[in-house]
Amino acid sequence: MNLAIDAMGGDGGSAVVVQAIKNVHSTHPDIRFTVFGNQDELKDLTSFCTIVHTTQVMSMEEGPLAVRRKSDSSMIKAIEAVKQGQCDGIVSCGSTAALLAASLLILRTFENLERPALTITFPTLKHTLCDMLDVGCNAENSSEQLMQFALMGHAYAKAVHNLEHPKIALLNIGSEAKKGDSVHKDAYEKIKALEHINFVGNIEGRDLLNGDVDVIITDGFSGNIALKTIEGTISAYSSLIKGVFKSSFIANLCALILKTKLVEMKRYFDYRKYGGAILAGINRPVVKAHGSSDVEAFTNAILLLSRLVEIDVVDRMKELL
Amino acid sequence: MNLAIDAMGGDGGSAVVVQAIKNVHSTHPDIRFTVFGNQDELKDLTSFCTIVHTTQVMSMEEGPLAVRRKSDSSMIKAIEAVKQGQCDGIVSCGSTAALLAASLLILRTFENLERPALTITFPTLKHTLCDMLDVGCNAENSSEQLMQFALMGHAYAKAVHNLEHPKIALLNIGSEAKKGDSVHKDAYEKIKALEHINFVGNIEGRDLLNGDVDVIITDGFSGNIALKTIEGTISAYSSLIKGVFKSSFIANLCALILKTKLVEMKRYFDYRKYGGAILAGINRPVVKAHGSSDVEAFTNAILLLSRLVEIDVVDRMKELL
């Protein structure tokens, strides 16, 4: 297995990526790496990685048009290496919009697939993992596309989480079949009609974290809003809790006493544990690490990519479409 | 001022409503009430309220079709009393779908308004209040409708929260003007072009609770998902915090020490403080109290309605449309 690593473009710079690659190398010496970026910053990796020097960086702010303009960026060169079969998949923490555009242009989607879907995995209150797609590839989706997401989500949860019959739900504004706009009403019927898919119906925003389902299907607009609303609410709630623990000397003492448990709780919803998001529907595994990834997050993103390559997730998703 | 109170249909039954009316009467003896419901359950109110006996209950589960079928329900009779001018506005904790359908049918929307919008008010991290509309009247909205929501939201925040230039934002999947589907791109331009409206651009899900804006404009689909996602995330996070405080004897002790502050924090996001949601765009003030309202919540719902009547919120919203 040879993984293409885009070393540039994240908030933490290449230093984070270099350390993450070292971490993975120490526990998985069998994995080979081709690392794309400024060679001066990647010297520490020369002993065990193939380094490809690139002169441009696809920064977080870049849109899809940068794909042409920044053809010598680490991101584009890494994707091209995957296209040419030198590497088996790519991880990048650069701009999502550029990564999506370049993946579409260079690697392309599955033959019968209309649109790819950004897929994230998050922990639930039942200590299970839940996949949600799409959370950001698309500004709008048709019911046909939502049906295709259900097929991809099913295959993904089966392959990655070893679930035989993953429970699939559709994010909607009510639990009844007739709820939602025409796209979601249609999608409900189309997903329901799929054979071998364990469709459990609609799920509402308030139940996303409950762990009642394994895969949540959503259009990119609602999915993006739901995901960011979860993030924002956790952040708001955390800051209120912090306020409570800072409210007096004795409250501070309580914080110290509870520290281990509080850190454990904070870790529970910590995206860094889960590595990154997948561009599902692209012909090769593409992992989008968080722009603000630290070493732990990027390490997990690489491990996620290695697992996706290992279990051949792309072919397993393709089979269903 | 004479307020129409639908005493039936909430989870807590008429007892909650009766006590709430008594509470408001004790502090606001000038407000008159016409209470609709089973007269046997409303005996305690006969000394200072007009009681209208009704035989049917519009339960929480009822859809819009129940409006015809349950013409002798407390909800329908209350709305009819508002229509006939006997009462100035109505509060109900029955089915939202039925309340909306009956309000549309009997009270109707403002002349130039395409669709009404369910408007809620929530507290932000900056200790301000933020209004969000629509969170549930509509399964989909046009850009024209979103523009009308912006006008209503502006007038509402100005009238109810005494803000001279409320900051209005559009819920979208990115902060840039060109983000989102065609409806939201169009809505951005239409709202931006409105005179006298302090439009500050798009807002993302992660910033809803930050307090950077005063009014959030959203289509009913995304708004419903965002609102319920906030509720669900707070509930999930609370249950994790509870777990921390129950994890040991000493953790339990910490909970006792911090109790006042924790209750204060919990209260911060407590819907009961804010009374209920408004059906903005209906020709008379209509307040939808939460189905699971307790006495405090219903008391605040009545106080909200009385304030809406007092400041003539309907006319102030109408002026702009």
Q: Give dist(CA A42, CA A320) in Å, integer.
A: 40
Could you say which of A210, A237, A257 has the minimum Cβ distance to residue B234? A237
Averaged pLDDT, A230-259: 92
- pLDDT score at B266: 84
* Rounded distance between C-alpha atoms, residue B318 and residue B321, angstroms: 5
Q: Is B237 on the interface with A (CB under 8 A)?
A: yes
Give the model's pLDDT for residue A67.
83
Q: Tell me the CA end-to-end span of chain A in Å, nearest whole number.
A: 26
User: With contacts defined as CB-CB under 8 Å, which chain B residues touch A257?
Assistant: 250-251, 254
- Tell me, what's the pLDDT at B219? 98
CB pairs under 8 A between A and B: 155
- Tell me, yes or no, whether A157 and A182 share the same domain: yes
Residues B71 and B175 in one domain: no
pLDDT for the residue numbered A9: 85
| Chain B closest-CA separation from residue A112 CA (Å) | 23
- A98 in Cβ contact with A62 (< 8 Å): yes
Residues B142, B264: one domain?
Answer: yes
Give the CATH number for residue B61.
Answer: 3.40.718.10
Same domain, residue pair A181 and A274: yes
Residue B302 lies in a domain: yes
Please say whether the beta carbons of B96 and A173 come within 8 A. no
The amino acid sitting at B51 is: I
**Residue by residue, what is the 3-state secondary structure of chain A?**
CEEEEECCCCCCHHHHHHHHHHHHHHHCCCCEEEEEECHHHHHHHCCCEEEEECCECCCCCCCCCHHHHCCCEHHHHHHHHHHCCCCCEEEECCCHHHHHHHHHHHHCECCCCCCCEEEEEEECCCCCEEEEECCCCCCCCCHHHHHHHHHHHHHHHHHHHCCCCCEEEEECCCCCCCCCCHHHHHHHHHHHCCCCCEEEEEECHHHCCCCCCCEEECCHHHHHHHHHHHHHHHHHHHHHHHHHHCCCHHHHHHHHHHHHHHHHHHHHCCHHHHCCEEEECECCCEEECCCCCCHHHHHHHHHHHHHHHHCCHHHHHHCCC
Residue type (1 letter), B273:
K
**What CA–CA distances, in Å, run from B55 to B20, B77, B78, B200, B298?**
22, 10, 13, 49, 22
Determine phi and psi for A315, rounding to 5 degrees.
-65, -35
From chain B, the residues in CB contact with A227 under 8 A are 205
pLDDT of residue B17: 96
How many residues belong to chain A? 321
On whether residue B167 sits in a domain, the answer given is yes
Mutate to test the interface with A, among B181, B209, B233, B259 (most CBs of A within 10 A): B233
Does residue B187 belong to any structural domain of this protein? yes
Q: What is the distance between the terminal CA atoms of chain B, rounded to a whole angstrom?
A: 26
| pLDDT, position A18 | 97
Cβ-contact A87, A4 below 8 angstroms? yes
Q: Does A205 touch chain B (CB under 8 A)?
A: yes
Q: Does A175 touch chain B (CB under 8 A)?
A: no
Q: Across the beta sheet with B49-53, what order do the strands follow?
A: B49-53, B32-37, B2-6, B89-92, B286-288, B277-280, B117-123, B129-133, B215-217, B167-171, B198-203
A162 touches chain B (CB under 8 A): no
Q: What single-letter DSSP state applies at residue B246?
A: T
A239 to chain B, any CB pair closer than 8 A? The answer is yes
pLDDT band at A264 (very low <50, low <70, confident <90, very high): confident
Indicate whether A75 pLDDT > 70: yes
Q: Residues B139, B189: one domain?
A: yes
Report if residue B132 sits inside a domain.
Answer: yes
Cα→Cα distances B71→B18, B56, B77, Å: 23, 8, 7
**Mean pLDDT throughout A28-57?**
96
Determine which of A142, A173, A182, A265 to mutate to test the interface with B (most B C-beta atoms within 10 Å).
A173
A120 and A173 belong to one structural domain:
yes
C-alpha to C-alpha distance for A11 and A113, rounded to whole angstroms: 33
Report pLDDT for B93: 92
Is B204 touching A (CB cutoff 8 A)?
yes
Question: In this predicted model, what pLDDT tens digit does every residue of A155-201 receive, in sequence order?
Answer: 999 999 999 999 999 999 998 888 999 999 999 999 999 998 999 99
The answer, for B261 touching chain A at a CB cutoff of 8 Å, is: yes
Domain residue limits at B61? 1-113+281-321
For CA atoms A49, A51, A57, A58, give the dihedral sign: negative
According to the model, what pLDDT value does residue A275 have? 79
Number of domains in chain B: 2
Residues B259 and B292 in one domain: no
Same domain, B127 and B262: yes
All residue ranges of chain B with pLDDT < 50 are none
What is the reported pLDDT for A89? 98
Helical pair B220-245 and A249-268, crossing angle rounded to 10 deg: 120
Q: Are residues B71 and B144 in the same domain?
A: no
β-bridge mates for residue A123, sequence order: A129
A173 part of contact set with chain B, CB < 8 Å: yes
**Residue whose entry in the numeric block shows the structure tokens 């001279």:** B164
Note whether residue B151 is domain-resident. yes
Q: Is B181 within 8 Å of chain A by CB?
A: yes
- B65 contacts chain A (CB < 8 A): no
- What ipTM goes with this model? 0.94
Has residue B276 been placed in a domain?
no
What's the pLDDT score for residue A104? 96
Residues B135 and B241 in one domain: yes
pTM: 0.94
Chain segment B223-270, per-residue pLDDT in tens:
999 999 999 999 999 999 999 999 999 999 999 999 999 888 888 877
Q: What are the b/e assignments for A251-262, b being 16+ CB within 10 Å?
A: beebbebbeebb
How open is the CA angle A111-A117-A119, to the nearest 5 degrees?
130
Tell me, yes or no, whether A224 and A286 share the same domain: no
Please name the residues between 121 and 140 in chain A that touch chain B, using a CB distance below 8 Å.
Answer: 125, 136, 139-140
Would residue B141 be called left, alpha or beta, if left means φ above 0 and alpha means ψ between -120 and 50 degrees? beta
- Min CA distance, A264 vs chain B (Å)? 9
CA angle A156, A158, A160 (to 5 degrees): 60
Residue from B219, B228, B262 to probe the interface with A (highest A Cβ count within 10 Å): B228
Task: pLDDT band for A271, please (50, 70, 90 cuts).
Answer: low
- Considering only CB atoms, which chain A residues are within 8 Å of B231? 205-206
Q: Please check whether residue B171 touches A, CB under 8 A.
A: yes
Q: Is residue B13 part of a domain?
A: yes
A-chain residues near B238 (CB < 8 A): 237
Same domain assignment for residues B105 and B122:
no
Q: Binning pLDDT at 50, 70 and 90, where does residue A63 land?
A: confident
